[in-house]
Amino acid sequence: MRINGSDGIQEILVMTSGVFSHLQPWLFSHIARFASANGSARGMLELKREHSLLVAEHCRDIAGELGWSEHDAAVAEALGLLHDAGRFSQFAEYGTFVDALSVNHGVRGADIVAGAGVLDPLDRRDRTRILDGILLHNRREIPPETAEDSLPFVKLVRDADKLDIYRIAVERMDSGEFAGHLKTALGITARGPATPEAVGDVLGRRTTANVHIRTLEDFLLMHLSWVFDISYAPTLRRIVERGYLERIASGLADDSARRAAESLIRGKRDPWAGTRHEQ
């Protein structure tokens, strides 16, 4: 899949097998229901629509670089496309993307996709991989009981999701829209220093827990901390080469947060030190 066209989005999803070809039309039809019901939500829904397309593209590209079969790369692409299926009704209904204030969008998305029967043409194995990926893409950690056959796909969609969220954050920072975006999408408006817990998560090489996100500084630290949860080397290389970490760190004003960010970035050539990673 490639994104182009006058509006920046080309509505084409290239799949190996025709069995996948109905997924994008179904998703766009699903999104349109909520955009028409709540006109004020249209901008945020369009953001997630574009995000879904790009995560699908990242899934396919990274799967190809990892040497996955054409079929598995197509399954990964389908998962990337559908991973945020729960976001559209979430925002239209609650006006937020904060799961704690609304619904778990991974659970809702898996329920929506399964209930719609849109995966029925696929075999059971591929249905399970996609539904598991949707269900688990937004967890802080992957549950240890995750099915072995689904695990590579869960890891990949989590990587691809973070990769594109980095893009969104940097674009909003560059356009001066970052604070407004956080207020609209996540209800984060507090300024001031980073919380000690968020700083401690980064220094401890842990992803920052949602309960520690109270200020804009915390939110930026959370984004930086995601490098500790990247599973595949091609994903990390894209994050580093595109300068996402430095750009996000440049938005930090709190001294303790900046020192934590500098420590993380110094280690970006080996951010998995002491952890497992996959090529």
pLDDT in tens, 128-171: 999 999 999 999 999 999 999 999 999 999 999 999 999 999 99
173 against 86, higher pLDDT: 86
Q: Examine the pLDDT at 182 and tell me if it is beyond 90.
A: no
Range of the domain at 240: 190-279
- Confidence category of residue 7, pLDDT binned at 50, 70, 90: very low
In a domain, 6, yes or no: no
265 shares its domain with 148: no
124 shares its domain with 65: yes
Q: Range with the lowest mean pLDDT among 16-25, 31-40, 82-91, 99-108?
A: 31-40
In a domain, 174, yes or no: no
What's the rounded Cα separation, in Å, for the pair 58 and 63?
Answer: 8
Q: What is the pLDDT of residue 100?
A: 85
What are the φ/ψ torsions at residue 97 (nearest 5 degrees)? -105, 10
Contact present, 245 and 263 (Cβ < 8 Å): no
In a domain, 170, yes or no: no
Q: What is the pLDDT of residue 2?
A: 39
Which of residues 138, 160, 182 is at a domain's end?
160
In a domain, 178, yes or no: no
The reported pTM is 0.88
What's the rounded Cα separation, in Å, for the pair 226 and 126?
Answer: 27
Contact present, 171 and 51 (Cβ < 8 Å): no
Residue range 207-255, pLDDT digits in tens: 998 888 888 889 899 999 999 999 999 999 999 999 999 999 999 988 9
**Phi-psi group of 187: left, alpha or beta (phi > 0 → left; psi -120 to 50 → alpha; rest → beta):** left
213 shares its domain with 151: no
In a domain, 9, yes or no: no
In a domain, 133, yes or no: yes
What's the rounded Cα separation, in Å, for the pair 271 and 265?
Answer: 8
In a domain, 173, yes or no: no
What's the rounded Cα separation, in Å, for the pair 87 and 62?
Answer: 24
What's the rounded Cα separation, in Å, for the pair 232 and 19?
Answer: 27
With a pLDDT cut of 90, the percent of the chain lying above it is 63
Which of residues 108, 142, 160 is at a domain's end?
160
49 shares its domain with 146: yes
Q: What is the pLDDT of residue 225?
A: 94
* Identity of the residue numbered 212: H
* Identity of the residue numbered 137: H
- Confidence category of residue 35, pLDDT binned at 50, 70, 90: confident
27 shares its domain with 151: yes
- Confidence category of residue 180, pLDDT binned at 50, 70, 90: low
Residue (of 234, 210, 88) closest to 160 by Cα position: 234
